[in-house]
Amino acid sequence: MPVININRNDFCRLIGHEIPMKTIEERIPMLGVGWEGTEGEEFSIEVFPNRPDMLSVEGLARAFSSFMNIERGLREYKAEPAEEFLIVVQPKVMNVRPFIVSCVVKNVDLSDDLIRSVIQMQEKLHVTHCRKRKKAAIGIYDLEKISFPLTYTTEKRTFKYVPLEEKQEMSLQEILEKLPKGKDYAWILEGMNEYPILLDSRGKTLSFIPILNADENKIDNKTKNLFIEVTGTDEKTVTEVLNIIISTFGDRGAKMHKVKIKYPDTGIIYTPNTSPKMMSLEPKYVNKILGLNLRNYEIIEYLQRMGHDAVEINKENIEVTIPIYRTDIMHAMDIVEDVAIAFGYENFEAVIPNISTIGEENPLEVFASRLRSLMVGHELQEVFTFILTNKKNLFNKMNVKETEIAETANPKTEEYNVVRNWLLPSLIEILERNQHHEYPQNIFEVGDVVILNPYTDTGTETKKRLALAMCHSKTNFAEIKSIVESMMKNLGINNYKIEEAEHKSFVAGRCAKIGIDSIELGVFGEINPVVLENWKLEMPVSTAEIDIDLLQKLI
C-alpha cells in the first residue's frame, strides 16, 4: 500500500493550527491511516486503498482537520462555467481508451510544497486507484502553452513528437521501446493498432496517452494556470480521480473552470461535475450495527467530523451529503463506519453478547489429534512441514514414476511449485537435513495432501495423512510393522489385513500394504537404499503412510 511523506509545517499551515508531532502520531492511526514514522519535520503515512483522497498533504490535512474538530463539515468545490475550453473526442479513440474528463485550474501558486505534493499524489494515484495507469491516467499542462479546441484521437505508431525532457522528435514506437516510461507502460497499449493522442488546435501534441506528455507544454515554477485531463477505460474512476485532484487545488485556493467535452455519439458534457453525492441514513441502522444509542444530532456531528454534511429529515432519516473526493462510499455501511471512526474505536465498550451456541470440533481434527498423541506415546517426534514442494522430491528422489498432481502456474521459486500428493517425501527431507543430530530420529507428521479429483468443485480433494519414519541403525520392517499394528489395535481395529505390496520407494519383499476388507489404508516397509542414496542418507529408514480420512470413516 502506498506510503506518502508529509512535511509537518506545510500540513499545519493547511489546517491553520499548530499541531505537535506527538498529537499527529497518536491521532492519525485512529482516523484510519497507517503511521510509518518521522524524520525531523517530515512524517510518513500509509494510505489505505479506500481513501485515495488522502494521498496528498492537502487531502490528509482536510480529513485530519475535520476529525480533530477544527473545521468540520462539507468542503464544496465549484467550477466556473466556461465555453472556451473544448475537447473533441474522435470516434476512433472510443475503442481504445474511451473516457476523458478535464478541468482548467487558474490562479495557482505553484510553490515547491504544492509541486511536490501534486507530483507525489499523481504518482501514487497512478499506482493505486488508476491501476498502474490502465484504468485512468492524469495529465497536467501549462494552460498558456495550449491552443483550444483540443482533439482526443489516435495516431499510428510512426507518429512523431518531442516527448517530455527530450530534445528531438521520436515516434510513438520509439518511445515505447526506448524511454523508461514507454517501457514501463507499453503493456497497456498492447494489441492496439493506433495509440491515444491529445492534440491542440495547431496540431501540436500535448500527450501520448497514457505514456508521456510533450516537452513543449510542461509546467514550471512560472506557471499560473493549469489544464488537467484524466483519461481511462473506466468512467467512474476517471471522474473520481479528477475530483480528488481538483479538491487538492481547491484547498490551495485555486479557481476551477469547466471544460466542454464533445463525444461522437452521446453529445456534450461539462466536467468536472462538482455536485456532491447524497445518501440517506437511518439512525436506527447506525445504532444497531454499532451497538450504540446515539441521538440524531450526535450522528450528524460525527458525520461532520468525517467531512460530510448531514441534516435530519425526520426522526427516522438523516440525509448525508458526501464530499466529491470520497470514492469509497457505496453503501450506508460505509457511512456507519465513518460514524464509528469519528466516535473513536477506542471509545467502544466491548461486550460479549447473550448468545448461546454449542462449540464443536471437526471430528477429523479430533481424530488427528488423538493419533498424534498415540504416536508421541510411541516415542516419535512430530514434525511440521510445507505442503508445497517440487516434483524432484515427490517422484525422482523417491524412485517412483511421475503422476499428474496439482501444480502452480506462477511460482517464485522452483523449489515450491507443486502441491504434495503424499507425505513421506516431506519426512525423508527432514531426515536428510538433520543428519548432524543425535540418533535415533523417529518422526511422524499428520498433514494434508492434495489429490486431483475432477468430481469436486475445486477439481481436487484435500486429504489428511499420517506418515511415520524410523531412522536409526537398527530399524527394519519388523519395527515399523509393530508400530502400525499397535496403532490399529489401539484404535480397536483387529480385522485389518497386511499383504505384500510392490512400491519402488521400498525394498522389494519388505513392503506391505494394510487395509480393511477391500479398502487400502496405506503402505509401510523399509525404504529402498536407492532412495536413501538419492537423499544422501546414510542411515536406514523404515516408514509408513496411512490415509486417516479413510481410517476415521472405518471406525
Partner 1 sequence: MHKYPFINIMSIMSSDKIIQQLHENEKRVLKSFKSKKVLSADELSKITKLSKEAAEKAAEWGKQKNLISIKENVSEFLELTIEGHEYSKTGLPEKRLISVVSKGMDEIETLKNKIPQFSIGLVWINKNGWAEVKDGKILITKEGMESLSRKLDEEELLAKVSKNTKMSRDFKRDIVDKLIRRGLIRIRTEVNREYALTASGKKIESQIKLGKEIGQITVDVLKKGDWKKYGLRAYNISTPAAKIHPSKKHFMTQVIEYIRNVWTEMGFKEMSGPLLEVSFWNFDALYQPQDHPARDLADTFYMKIPSEGQLPEDEITQAVKATHENGWTCNSLGWQYSWNPNFAKKSVMRTHTTTLSVRTLAQLRKDVDKGALPAKYFSVGRVFRNEVLDWKHLAEFYQTDGIVVGEDVNFRHFLAYLKRYFAKLGFEKARFRPAYFPYTEMSTEIEVFHPEQKSWIELGGAGMFRPEVVKPLLGKDIPVLAWGPGLERLVMINYDIKNIRELYWNDLKQLREAKIWLG
410 binds partner 1 (CB under 8 A): yes
**Quick check: 352 binds partner 1 (CB under 8 A)?**
yes
Q: Which is nearer to partner 1, 151 or 460 (CB)?
A: 460
Contact flag: residue 124 with partner 1 (CB under 8 A): no
Identify the residue among 190, 361, 499, 538 touching partner 1 (CB under 8 A): 361
244 versus 383: smaller Cβ distance to partner 1: 383
**Residue 357: partners with Cβ closer than 8 Å, 6 or more residues away:** none
Residue 537 within binding range of partner 1, rule CB under 8 A = no
Q: φ and ψ at 466, to 5 degrees?
A: -115, 130
Report the residue from 90, 321, 460, 476 that binds partner 1 according to the rule CB under 8 A: 460
Shorter beta-carbon distance to partner 1: residue 16 or 459: 459
Q: Which stretch binds partner 1 (CB under 8 A): 45-53, 248-256, 474-482, 546-554?
A: 45-53
Q: Minimum CB separation from partner 1 for residue 438, in Å?
A: 7
Other C-beta atoms lying within 10 Å of the C-beta of residue 363: 9
Q: Residue 262's beta-bridge partner residues? A: 88, 268
466 exposure class (CB count in 10 Å sphere: 0-12, 13-18, 19+): buried
- Residues 10-39 within binding reach of partner 1 (CB under 8 A): 29-32
Can residue 341 be called a binding residue for partner 1 (CB under 8 A)?
A: yes
Q: How many residues bind partner 1 (CB under 8 A)?
A: 95
Residue 364 makes contact with partner 1 by CB under 8 A? yes
Contacts of residue 111, Cβ cutoff 8 Å, sequence gap at least 6: none
Q: Does 359 bind partner 1 (CB under 8 A)?
A: yes
Per CB under 8 A, the list member of 81, 253, 267, 353 interacting with partner 1 is 353
What's the CA gap between 53 and 248, in Å, rounded?
9
**The length of the chain, given as a count of residues:** 555
> Which is nearest to 144 in space by CA: 120, 114, 108, 170?
108
CA triple 101-149-234, angle to 5 deg: 20
Residue 186 touching partner 1 (CB under 8 A)? no
Q: Is position 333 an interface residue for partner 1 (rule: CB under 8 A)?
A: yes
Minimal distance in Å, beta carbon 134 to partner 1?
Answer: 8
- Name the one range near partner 1 by CB under 8 A: 212-220, 408-416, 491-499, 545-553: 408-416
Which residues are CB-contacts of 365 (< 8 A; sequence separation ≥ 6)?
none
- Calculate helix-pair angle for 57-67, 8-15, nearest 10 degrees: 50
Closest of 229, 219, 214, 123 to residue 164, by C-alpha: 214
Minimum CB–partner distance for residue 338 and partner 1 (Å): 10
Q: Which range binds partner 1 by CB under 8 A, 72-80, 159-167, 439-447, 488-496?
A: 439-447
**What letter represents residue 362's amino acid?**
N
Task: In whole angstroms, give the CA distance from residue 271 to residue 285.
Answer: 35
Of 105-113, 145-153, 223-231, 334-342: span binding partner 1 (CB under 8 A):
334-342
Residue 275 near partner 1 by CB under 8 A: no
162, HSE (Cβ side, Cα atoms, 13 Å): 9
- Using the minimum distance from each CB to partner 1, give the nearer residue, 259 or 468: 468
When asked if residue 356 is in the footprint of partner 1 (CB under 8 A), the reply is yes
> Rounded to an integer, what distance in angstroms lies between the CA atom of residue 398 and that of residue 406?
18
Q: Which stretch binds partner 1 (CB under 8 A): 54-62, 215-223, 265-273, 412-420?
A: 412-420
Give residue for cell 527394519: 476
Q: Which of residues 365-404 bind partner 1 (CB under 8 A)?
A: 365, 369, 372-373, 376, 379-388, 404
What does the block give as the cell for 514?
494394510
- What's the per-residue H, E or C state across 269-332? EEECCCCCEEEEECHHHHHHHHCCCCCHHHHHHHHHCCCCEEEEEECCEEEEEECCCCCCCCCH
Among 7, 38, 90, 434, binds partner 1 (CB under 8 A): 434
- Tell me if 442 contacts partner 1 by CB under 8 A: yes
238 touching partner 1, by CB under 8 A: no
d(CA 272, CA 266): 17
**Closer Cβ to partner 1, 169 or 461, answer by number:** 461
Task: Give CA–CA dist 151/163, Å, rounded.
Answer: 18
Nearer to partner 1, 324 or 443 (CB): 443
β-strands 99-106, 226-232 pairing: antiparallel
- Interactions with partner 1, residue window 284-303 (CB under 8 A): 288-292
> Quick check: 71 binds partner 1 (CB under 8 A)?
no
Residue 147 DSSP symbol: -
539 is an interface residue for partner 1 by CB under 8 A: no
Question: What are the residues facing 277 on neighbouring strands?
Answer: 322
Question: Which of 24, 87, 103, 405 contacts partner 1 by CB under 8 A?
Answer: 405
One of 190, 438, 517, 538 touching partner 1 (CB under 8 A): 438
Q: Which of 348, 482, 502, 529 binds partner 1 (CB under 8 A)?
A: 348
Among 408, 482, 486, 490, binds partner 1 (CB under 8 A): 408
Residues 6+ apart with CB under 8 A from 153: 89, 90, 92, 93, 196, 197, 198, 199
Considering only 48, 148, 270, 477, the residue that binds partner 1 (CB under 8 A) is 48
Distance CA 479, CA 470 (A): 8
Residue 297 or 348: the one with the smaller Cβ distance to partner 1 is: 348
Contacting partner 1 within 249-268 (CB under 8 A) = none
Q: How far is CA 365 from the centre of its chain?
A: 31
187 binds partner 1 (CB under 8 A): no
Alpha carbon distances (Å) from 244 to 56, 71, 105, 163, 488:
9, 19, 13, 27, 68
